[in-house]
Each structure stands twice: as C-alpha cells, then as structure tokens.
Structure 1
Amino acid sequence: MKKIIFVGALVFSSTFAFTQSKCEDLKDHDKKEEKVKEMRDRMAKELNLTEDQIKKINLIEDKYKSREDELRKKSEELRQQIHQLKEDKKSEINKVFTEEQRQKLKKIKEDMHNKKHLHKQGKKFHS
C-alpha cells in the first residue's frame, strides 16, 4: 500500500511539474493557474487522494513555489544579460569592418536567411 501511495505521489508531482512547464508558454497567468488547478484536481481524483494528502501536497507545492519563481526570475535576467552581451559583441565586431565589408556581410546574412526560408518550404536555393 505504501508503494502505491509513493508511486501515486511521484506521478502526481511529475505530472504537476510537466503541466507547469507546459504552461510556461502561456502568456496569461490566469490560464496557467487554471490549468494547474485542473491537473491537480484530476490527479487527486484519479489517485483517490484523501483530504489530508491533498493538504500535504499543497503545502509542499507552496513551499517550493517561491524558490522556483525566484530561479525563473534569475534565469530570465541571465537570458537578458546574455542577449545584451551578444548585441554588444556584435556591435563591437561590426566597428572593425569597413563599410564595404558590412554591406557584404549583410548580403551574406540575407542570402542565408532566404536559403533557410526556401528550405523550409521545400524549394531549392540558387544564387
């Protein structure tokens, strides 16, 4: 019986974590919360969780939520810093080029973009 409860709790936690990560793409916070609540309710029903189990799981979820949110925030800040670093590097490298080289690089990038775009459409690229 203990094994069944352990496996059930593990499945519940894994499903909840998966649902949370899937909902990261949702821009609307209310939709995310609604999806999480639906999944919690579904798992509680399918696993026949008692009210005591549900309360304990909710306390555990609440315990970790703020730490997860903090890490997500740090992660987003790091992504922004990396983006800015790349832009700064690109700008500095661009200053090394002559105007002619910048134009040639721009053309190369456009060609690569067009080639990639045509490839996605299943067409051949000829320059």
Structure 2
Amino acid sequence: MVHHLGLSGLFAIEFLTHAVLQYQDAATREQVLTGPGRPYFLVVAMTFLAGVVLFGVASWRAGVLPRMALALYVPGLCLAALRTSVPEAAYLGGLAVGAIGVMWLSTTLIRGPEDTGNDAATGPSPRRSGVPIKS
C-alpha cells in the first residue's frame, strides 16, 4: 500500500514536472518547487522510499521473487527517490538499475510460478512423480 501511494505521488510529480512546469517561466518554477509544493514533494519522495524498502524487505523475506532482481530494484529506486539529494549521475544510474530490476520482476510475474517438483504445502508435484493429473 505504501509503495502504491509513493508511486502514485511520484507519477503526479513527474506529470507536473514534464507537462506543466516546463511551460512556466523560471521564476514561477522556482516558486512552485521551493514554496508550497516543496513539502508535498518531500512527503511523496519519503513515501516512495519507504514503500520501496518495505516492498523489498517483505519480498526478500517471502523468498518468492528472485533476490537478485530485488537487489537491483531496491537500491536503484532508493536512489531515484532521493533524486534531489544525490548527484544526477547517481539518480540516473539508479533509474537504470531499478529499471532492470523492474523488468526482471515483471518477467518473473508474467511467466508465473515454476514447477520445482516440490511444494512445502502439497508435497511432490504430480508432474514429476508420474501421477496423472486429473482435469
């Protein structure tokens, strides 16, 4: 839930930045970014950062998603969340690394669960044990 809220807020900020503020003069942009908009931007960034970390920790502990993908996703998107506090190269590198993690996680989810032959809850898989599968 926190991750979703952070992503939603981040989308709103990116929309504002790329679709609205670019058409404003420099003084207006500066006024929005340092004035009443600043606390909103900080809350969104911290919400997104907390969501990424919570998602990463929960997913790591669950052991369902590939841990290497999480090891790319979490640090990469943490750097993205800290966009205004880190050098631009770190922010852009974080986006690239996080994007690789997102693609890996997405591919894993699209493929679905793999038949490993054993499931702790149900025992050996019928496909591997030679038992016919009922339709």
- Work out which structure has the larger RCO, using CA pairs closer than 8 Å and 6 or more positions apart in sequence: 2
Give TM class, smaller chain: 0.3 to 0.5
**Normalised TM-score (structure 2):** 0.32
Greater radius of gyration (CA): 1
The structure with the largest helix share of the pair is 1
Q: TM-score, normalised by structure 1?
A: 0.34
